[in-house]
């Protein structure tokens, strides 16, 4: 009737349910990997059946479930009442009492505080999580309270939500039994807790571990009551203890936490203001958890969903649950679907994006699931947070939006299972979004989801990856947004041909680098206040820029590792730099910024050198401290070889010496002088990437933004193609012993098959395009290569 965790394994699901079998497996087999599990024991399924059979409840329950005279909630309540009032076998009560006392002796506590957790024999399976379907009781102390909690757990197999979920998943009610785990509580109420996934929850990328963390008991994170911090770790580098591959570090406003309540159970209390924006975990704790996650995943042979808790008294971290991840690991990878908004709209609220889809519909704002009659099928469900009682209603929605919660909250988990776009942790959706208002929910742009006003048009693109031919010309992708980079990991490409640093600076960092290195020179009061807010928690303001930029670059590099990721150093024009927070006082007013103080000329100027130094520090951090040696630096708008030398010397001074740690430095070939003096530039740089827009503009003397001259702007013009061929021939000149790679980044090859044919015929090494053009580009290149192989 009672089995201790160290006598159980994952083979015992039928005996003690998925949760308890997994706790046994962890206790028995992961201790050598350092994984700590709070000790405890489980009641067996036989006890559950004996309770039902002792009161002749099996047939009574089936009769109630098959009848249709009562409402589902009423039926469920009646079944639970029958189970809760059924007599427990005397031998079981005796065994339970003895085991509870033995657990107390082990921890030197007479009435040891425990978690009493339901574990169904059909839960935590790879194809169905049964997340939150049965009840758990925390901070239970004393044998009478334990027995009462066990009764409630038995009865919770027949909550309305559990009955609905089993029906939806096709499980026979008479085939599912319930075990109860009794486990020593971790004093996370004095510490912290959270959830860890050993893959990226939104894209299925297998090499990232996602850790959510909040103050207090984990109940607050799982329920969505608290919006947690989120940390991301690149798993393959964890074996190298010299590296700290933390690619994501997002702090939330943790204004509440779940703690012990007087007399047992739990309650939600405010978090002191000075702790709300403080990181829950240290870097070492993040890496420790990620290593445990990797060990657990390796042991189970599949991606895992893991709950953890940190004891505030001892400082020790524990794993309190591990189950298979049930969404991304079950998804077919042959077809890649992407969504793109085709018109702009006013952003009403923002939050964490769940999934990558777009949906439209009327806002249906509800306070609780009992208001289901007010919901319009296909509407956008807007509420504070969800729990398992919301599931039938969620199934009728086209999207979910919540005020609270993170990527591991109930709303997030269930939305993924249902394939619905969701935005969680918005903080104010229930205040801003009015009932009946037509809105568009977009999760198509990476980590941040947006609710936009009105019904906006969008495209859905499907790329069938299973039928793509192999080509000799290497295809890469252009990426700006780090979160979006993860989305494209399944594409059959060989790296990133252009990663634009400006996107990270403009959209994530937001602050002009000199406003951080020369903060005392920022005169604008509003800008100073915003900078203080953004850099809160950093002792040194420039560190904010370096760490945010490094993690953004590392995220892009991780998505394609070990393929090269070519990162262009910042190429803002002066008017764009001036628009950054605090930037007005550091930028000149130029008549023609396109041809002004941009690219290499900025880097060695005294008026920007400390800004470039921050860029170099970020690149060094991503390459050397995190381990992403696939990052290639690229210098834009380098007008002369002398500029190239000066920039390379500056980079070396900042610890980025060409050739050391495998560092390669490319030049953007976009100025005619890069072509004319290609032999000279080849002596300095390790490769070229053709910027066809600027090269076309400067070769033809046509402003690329001019509507009047747009008919003249064509990268297929002979003057441009001759320049491209000349660059390739010079870089590949065998007589001079040159074999320098040349690539191109732009839409031309995918939009114009004749241009792709020219590039392949000219001997281009790589073609880099937007991700949604990859399939089309590969097919175009395949046709060109096939035609070249055919005899004339």
pLDDT computed for residue 741 by the predictor:
97
Q: Render pLDDT for 8-24 as a digit per residue (tens, 0 to 9).
A: 999 999 999 999 999 99
Query: Three-state DSSP class for 655?
Result: coil
For the packed helices 609-620 and 541-560, what is the interaxial angle rounded to 10 degrees? Answer: 50
745 catalytic? Reply is yes
Q: Which range has the worst mean pLDDT, 127-136, 143-152, 293-302? A: 127-136
Higher pLDDT, 224 or 45: 45
Retrieve residue 628's tokens.
Answer: 């992403």
The predicted model gives 644-667 an average pLDDT of 97
Measured distance CA(340)–CA(390) in Å, rounded:
29
Report yes or no: 692 and 769 within 8 Å, Cβ to Cβ: no
Predicted confidence band of residue 791 (pLDDT cuts 50, 70, 90) = low
Q: Which runs of E-coded beta strand occur in 502-654?
A: 565-568, 631-635
Count CB atoms within 10 A of the CB of residue 398.
19
Give Cβ neighbours of residue 558 (< 8 Å, ≥ 6 apart). Answer: 207, 208, 234, 245, 247, 486, 628
Q: What is the DSSP string of 163-214?
A: HHHHHHHT--GGG--EEEEEEEPP-GGGSEEEEEESS-TTT--TTEEEEEEE
pLDDT computed for residue 550 by the predictor:
98
Give Cβ neighbours of residue 683 (< 8 Å, ≥ 6 apart). Answer: 641
Which of 411-445 are b and which e, b meaning 16 or more Cβ less than 10 Å from the residue's Cβ? bbbbbbbbebbbbbbbbebbeebeeebebbbbbbb
Measured distance CA(751)–CA(646) in Å, rounded:
37
661 catalytic? Reply is no
The predicted model gives 350-359 an average pLDDT of 93
For the packed helices 90-106 and 143-155, what is the interaxial angle rounded to 10 degrees? Answer: 120
Strand partners, 339: 460
The predicted model gives 444-472 an average pLDDT of 90
Closest C-alpha among 217, 196, 182, 223 to residue 312: 217
Q: Render pLDDT for 627-655 as a digit per residue (tens, 0 to 9).
A: 999 999 999 999 999 999 999 999 999 99
Q: What is the DSSP string of 8-70?
A: --GGGHHHHHHHHHHHHHHHHHSGGGT-----EEEE-HHHHHHHHHHTTHHHHHHHHHH--SS
pLDDT computed for residue 788 by the predictor:
75
Nearest 5°: the CA angle 483, 594, 565 is: 30
pLDDT score of 170 more than 80: no
Which of 713-724 are b and which e, b meaning 16 or more Cβ less than 10 Å from the residue's Cβ? bbbeeeebbebb
Q: Render pLDDT for 177-190 as a digit per residue (tens, 0 to 9).
A: 999 999 999 999 99
Report yes or no: 177 and 162 within 8 Å, Cβ to Cβ: no
Report yes or no: 88 and 50 within 8 Å, Cβ to Cβ: no
Q: Render pLDDT for 184-213 as a digit per residue (tens, 0 to 9).
A: 999 999 999 999 999 998 889 999 999 999
Query: Three-state DSSP class for 480?
Result: coil
Measured distance CA(638)–CA(644) in Å, rounded:
6
Q: Which range has the worst mean pLDDT, 43-57, 319-333, 545-559? A: 319-333
Q: Render pLDDT for 521-559 as a digit per residue (tens, 0 to 9).
A: 999 999 999 999 999 889 999 999 999 999 999 999 999
Helix (H) or strand (E) holding 610: helix 609-620
pLDDT computed for residue 742 by the predictor:
98
Retrieve residue 123's tokens.
Answer: 């839960």
Q: Render pLDDT for 715-746 as a digit per residue (tens, 0 to 9).
A: 999 999 999 999 999 999 999 999 999 999 87
Retrieve residue 574's tokens.
Answer: 């002066």
Which of 546-575 are b and which e, b meaning 16 or more Cβ less than 10 Å from the residue's Cβ? bbbbbbbbbbbbbbbbeebbbbbbbbbbbe
Retrieve residue 90's tokens.
Answer: 């005397």
pLDDT score of 792 more than 90: no
pLDDT computed for residue 124 by the predictor:
45
pLDDT score of 769 more than 70: yes
Q: What is the DSSP string of 716-751?
A: TSHHHHHHHHHHHHHHT-GGGT----EEEESSHHHH
Predicted confidence band of residue 128 (pLDDT cuts 50, 70, 90) = very low
Q: What are the phi and psi torsion angles at 665 (to 5°)? A: -125, 125
Select which of 258, 410, 638, 732 is catalytic. 410
């Amino acid at each position: 009737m009672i089995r201790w965790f160290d006598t159980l394994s994952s083979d015992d699901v039928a005996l003690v349910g998925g949760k308890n079998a997994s706790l046994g497996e962890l206790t028995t087999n992961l201790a050598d990997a350092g994984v700590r599990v709070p000790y405890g024991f489980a009641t067996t399924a036989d006890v559950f059946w004996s309770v039902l059979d002792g009161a002749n409840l099996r047939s009574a329950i089936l009769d109630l479930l098959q009848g249709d005279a009562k409402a589902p909630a009423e039926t469920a309540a009646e079944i639970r009442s029958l189970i809760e009032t059924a007599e427990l076998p005397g031998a079981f009560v005796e065994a339970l009492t003895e085991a509870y006392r033995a657990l107390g002796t082990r921890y030197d506590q007479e009435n040891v505080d425990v978690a009493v957790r339901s574990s169904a024999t059909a839960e935590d399976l790879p194809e169905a999580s049964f997340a939150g379907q049965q009840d758990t009781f925390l901070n239970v102390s004393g044998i009478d309270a334990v027995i009462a909690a066990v009764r409630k757990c038995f009865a919770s197999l027949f909550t309305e939500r559990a009955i609905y979920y089993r029906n939806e998943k096709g499980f026979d009610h008479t085939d599912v039994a319930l075990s109860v785990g009794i486990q020593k509580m971790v004093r996370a109420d004095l510490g912290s807790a959270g959830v860890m996934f050993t893959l990226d929850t939104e894209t299925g990328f297998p090499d990232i571990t996602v850790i959510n963390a909040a103050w207090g008991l984990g109940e607050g994170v799982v329920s969505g009551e608290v919006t947690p911090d989120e940390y991301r770790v690149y798993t393959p580098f964890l074996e190298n203890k010299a590296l700290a591959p933390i690619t994501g570090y997002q702090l939330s406003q943790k204004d509440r936490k779940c703690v012990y309540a007087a007399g047992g159970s739990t309650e939600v209390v405010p978090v002191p203001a000075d702790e709300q924006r403080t990181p829950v975990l240290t870097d070492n704790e993040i890496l420790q958890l990620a290593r445990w996650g990797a060990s657990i995943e390796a042991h189970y042979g599949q991606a895992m969903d893991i709950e953890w808790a940190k004891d505030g008294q001892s400082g020790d971290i524990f794993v309190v649950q591990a189950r298979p991840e049930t969404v991304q690991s079950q998804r077919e990878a042959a077809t890649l679907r992407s969504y793109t908004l085709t018109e702009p709209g006013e952003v009403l609220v923002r939050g964490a994006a769940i999934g990558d889809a777009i949906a439209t519909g009327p806002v249906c704002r509800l306070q609780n699931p009992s208001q289901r009659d007010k919901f319009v099928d296909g509407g956008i469900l807007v509420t504070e947070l969800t729990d398992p009682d919301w599931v039938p209603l969620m199934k009728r929605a086209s999207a979910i939006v919540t005020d609270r919660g993170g990527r591991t909250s109930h709303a997030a988990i269930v939305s993924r299972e249902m394939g619905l776009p969701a935005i969680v942790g918005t903080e104010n959706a229930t205040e801003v979004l009015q009932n009946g208002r037509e809105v568009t929910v977009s999760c198509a742009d990476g980590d941040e989801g947006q609710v936009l006003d009105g019904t906006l048009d969008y495209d859905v693109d499907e790329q069938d990856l299973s039928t793509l031919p192999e080509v000799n010309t290497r295809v890469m992708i252009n990426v700006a947004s780090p979160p979006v980079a993860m989305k494209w990991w399944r594409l059959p490409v060989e790296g990133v041909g252009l990663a634009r640093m400006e996107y990270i600076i403009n959209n994530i960092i937001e602050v002009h680098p000199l406003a951080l290195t020369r903060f005392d020179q920022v005169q604008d009061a509003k800008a100073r206040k915003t900078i203080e807010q953004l850099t809160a928690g950093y002792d040194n303001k420039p560190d904010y820029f370096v760490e945010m930029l490094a993690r953004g670059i590392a995220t892009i590099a991780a998505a394609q590792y070990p393929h090269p990721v070519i990162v262009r150093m910042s190429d803002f024009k002066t008017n764009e730099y001036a628009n950054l927070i605090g930037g007005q006082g550091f930028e000149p007013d130029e008549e023609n910024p396109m041809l002004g103080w941009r690219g290499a000329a900025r880097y060695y100027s005294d008026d920007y050198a400390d800004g470039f130094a921050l860029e170099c520090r970020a690149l060094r951090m991503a390459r050397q401290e995190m381990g992403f040696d696939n990052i290639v630096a690229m210098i834009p708008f380098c007008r002369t070889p002398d500029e190239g030398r000066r920039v390379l010397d500056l980079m070396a001074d900042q610890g980025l010496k060409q050739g050391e740690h495998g560092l390669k430095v490319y030049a953007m070939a976009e100025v005619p002088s890069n072509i004319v003096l290609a032999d000279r530039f080849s002596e300095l740089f390790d490769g070229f990437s053709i910027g066809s827009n600027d090269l076309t503009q400067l070769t033809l003397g046509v402003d690329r933004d001019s509507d009047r001259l747009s008919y003249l702007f064509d990268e297929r013009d002979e003057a441009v193609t001759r320049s491209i061929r000349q660059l390739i021939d010079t870089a590949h000149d065998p007589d001079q012993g040159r074999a320098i790679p040349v690539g191109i980044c732009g839409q031309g090859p995918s939009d114009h098959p004749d241009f792709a044919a020219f590039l392949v015929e000219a001997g281009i090494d790589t073609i880099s395009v937007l991700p949604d053009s990859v399939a089309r580009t590969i097919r175009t290149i395949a046709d060109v290569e096939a035609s070249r192989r055919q005899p004339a």
